[in-house]
């Protein structure tokens, strides 16, 4: 076995060491530790490895709470104390802005964090029929593998969902075609918890009776999804076809379907929306754009301030949901929505939105490079950028600062996915 001393963590939560000039990325190791490691991939300039023994422990090392941590690919940082996780994510963001974007950051905002366990209100859990392992397996994927972990509990799922994993396994095994149900999607709203079973074959009448009885027993609402996400529907006729989550600080309730995109962590989402509004400072009389608006998570808090807001999103279904949420929250007069592919935005299509005082951008991992390049001389004076990928945030920040005349006033992280390497961040840009 080889030995190395860990210098820092990379963007995937792996320890970084250098041995004879070569970078070694070591899973399960923390900065300051001396570890034995075993390499599973060797290249000329780097190796990827796993920790086999910790010789010198970090004071920030924690005992993983989940008994499946060593196998499951759902979490990568349970071996690090929560504060160390947040600090590592802050460094990943700062390093990306410094080395990729090469932009100065005015201030580092205090990190946003909250409950570390039972936080995952959204998720896709794999299902496999494996006779050699006793039948139906339910769980997340193994690390670096397409195999399903044989999970009987999960510490990041809400307890009432973790508690039904074993009964759910027995339920799936009792159905007519258990090998034709590849996944179950979890959606927890303020009002109900939905399990959506992806069924490649129609359920029989007996299947439906078993599923509904299971739902009643465990206070769950059972749905089926025979095709694409838009085919998801309740098994019980007449049951509401949506859930909702609330933003109490803004007196908002937002409807969503179980297969819609919403943030995984409702607690952090509320704090992130608060931070976004503090940075954006929407005022009555202003005209603001919310781009990649989804179903209105940021749009409606902006409208609640009295500003007029235009939300733009690529998904027609989400735009329809956003408009419905505006109506039901009494904000239709202040919020307008439209469908557009923001990955192909041009200066002309951006100007068509009209004069804008401010802008909020919340893109997916790909970032918003076409959008920031399309900004012209009439661009809004203030932009709040919410990011789920520090690399694309840094890339887009470089365009805003070096080409479009903005200054980055500050940036900070939100621990949306505790115990994982996922980095959510928020940044403020102002035009000189």
Distance CA 273, CA 78 (A): 26
Nearest residue to 417 via CA among 77, 130, 154? 77
Q: Which residue has the tokens 């976004």?
A: 276
Give me the catalytic one of 388, 393, 394, 397: 388
- Whether 261 has a binding-site annotation, put simply, is no
Helix count (H) and strand count (E) of the chain? 10, 22
DSSP bridge pairs for 223: 196, 234
Cβ(91)–Cβ(83) under 8 Å?
Answer: no
To the query of whether residue 388 is one of the catalytic residues in this protein, the response is yes
- Whether 263 has a binding-site annotation, put simply, is yes
The Cβ-side half-sphere exposure at 301, using a 13 Å CA radius, reads 22
DSSP string, 258-281: TTS---S-HHHHHHHHHHHHHHH-
- Whether 250 has a binding-site annotation, put simply, is no
- Whether 66 has a binding-site annotation, put simply, is yes
Distance CA 187, CA 223 (A): 11
- Whether 415 has a binding-site annotation, put simply, is no
Q: How far is CA 383 from CA 176, 264, 342, in A?
A: 53, 24, 16
Q: Which residue has the tokens 């780097």?
A: 46
Strand-pair category, 8-9 with 15-19 = antiparallel
- Whether 286 has a binding-site annotation, put simply, is no
Distance CA 117, CA 90 (A): 20
Which residue numbers belong to the known binding site? 66, 72, 75, 154, 263, 292, 297, 313, 341, 362
Residues annotated catalytic, as ranges: 388
Which residue numbers belong to the known binding site for [4Fe-4S] cluster? 66, 72, 75, 154
Which residue numbers belong to the known binding site for S-adenosyl-L-methionine? 263, 292, 297, 313, 341, 362
């Amino acid at each position: 076995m080889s030995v190395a001393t860990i210098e820092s963590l990379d963007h995937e939560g792996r320890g970084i060491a250098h041995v004879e000039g070569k970078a070694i990325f070591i899973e399960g190791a923390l900065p300051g530790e001396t570890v034995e490691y075993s390499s599973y991939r060797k290249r000329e300039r780097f190796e990827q490895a796993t920790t086999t023994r910790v010789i010198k422990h970090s004071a920030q090392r924690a005992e993983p709470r989940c008994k499946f941590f060593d196998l499951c690919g759902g979490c990568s940082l349970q071996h690090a104390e929560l504060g160390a996780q947040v600090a590592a994510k802050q460094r990943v963001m700062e390093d990306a802005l410094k080395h990729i974007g090469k932009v100065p950051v005015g201030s580092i905002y205090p990190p946003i964090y909250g409950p570390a366990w039972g936080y995952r209100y959204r998720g896709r859990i794999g299902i496999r029929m494996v006779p050699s392992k006793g039948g139906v397996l339910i769980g997340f994927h193994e690390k670096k593998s397409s195999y399903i972990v044989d999970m009987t509990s999960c510490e990041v799922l809400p307890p009432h969902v973790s508690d039904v994993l074993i009964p759910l396994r027995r339920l799936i095994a009792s159905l007519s075609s258990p090998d034709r149900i590849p996944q179950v999607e979890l959606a927890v709203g303020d009002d109900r918890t939905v399990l959506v079973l992806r069924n490649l074959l129609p359920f029989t009448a007996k299947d439906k009776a078993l599923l509904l009885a299971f739902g009643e027993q465990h206070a769950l609402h059972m749905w089926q999804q025979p095709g694409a996400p838009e085919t998801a529907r309740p098994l019980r006729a007449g049951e509401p076809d949506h859930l909702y989550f609330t933003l109490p600080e803004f007196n908002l309730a937002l409807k969503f379907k179980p297969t819609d995109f919403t943030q995984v962590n409702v607690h952090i989402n509320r704090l992130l929306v608060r931070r976004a509004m503090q940075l954006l400072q929407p005022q009555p009389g202003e005209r603001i754009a919310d781009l990649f608006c989804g179903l209105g998570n940021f749009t409606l808090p902006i409208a609640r301030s009295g500003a007029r807001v235009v939300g733009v999103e690529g998904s027609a279904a989400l735009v329809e949901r956003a408009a419905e949420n505006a109506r039901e929250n009494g904000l239709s007069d202040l919020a307008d929505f439209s469908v557009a592919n923001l990955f192909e935005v041009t200066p002309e299509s951006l100007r068509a939105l009209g004069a804008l005082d401010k802008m909020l951008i919340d893109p997916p991992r790909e970032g918003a490079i076409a959008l920031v390049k399309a900004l012209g001389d009439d661009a809004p004076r203030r932009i709040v950028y919410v990011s789920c990928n520090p690399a694309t945030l840094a890339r887009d920040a470089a365009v805003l600062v070096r080409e479009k005349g903005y200054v980055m006033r500050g940036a900070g992280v939100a621990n949306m996915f505790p115990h994982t390497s996922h980095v959510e961040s928020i940044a403020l840009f102002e035009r000189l």
